[in-house]
Amino acid sequence: MTLTEILIPTFLQMLRGQSVWLDKAAAYEKANGKEPDALMTLRLAPDMYPLAAQARFASYLSMEPVYRLRGEAIPEAAQAVQREGWNSGQRPGTFAEAKARLAEAIAFLEALPDNALDAGEYIDIALELPNGVIFDMTGEQYARDWALPQFYFHTNAAYSILRQHGVELGKGEYVAHALAYLRPGTLPKA
- Give dist(CA 160, CA 54) in Å, integer: 11
Every domain of the chain and the residues it spans? 3-181
Give the model's pLDDT for residue 68: 97
The closest of 156, 159, 180 to 25, measured between CA atoms, is 159
pLDDT of residue 122: 93
pLDDT digits (tens, 9 = 90+) for 54-73: 999 999 999 999 999 999 99
Model-level pTM greater than 0.75?
yes
Domain 3-181: which CATH class?
A: mainly alpha
Q: What is the pLDDT of residues 77-110, one digit of tens each?
A: 999 999 999 999 899 999 999 999 999 999 999 9
| Buried/exposed 69-98: b ≥16 CB within 10 Å, e otherwise | beeeeeeeebeebbebbeebeeebbebebb
Q: What is the arithmetic mean of pLDDT over 15-37? A: 96
Residue 188 pLDDT greater than 90, yes or no: no
For 149-185, how does the pLDDT look when each residue is reduced to its tens digit (9 = 90+)? 999 999 999 999 999 999 999 888 888 888 888 899 8
Q: Using the predicted structure, report yes or no on whether residue 125 has a pLDDT greater than 80.
A: yes
Is residue 5 over pLDDT 80?
yes
Residue 125: strand pairing partners = 137
Helix (H) or strand (E) holding 17: helix 3-31
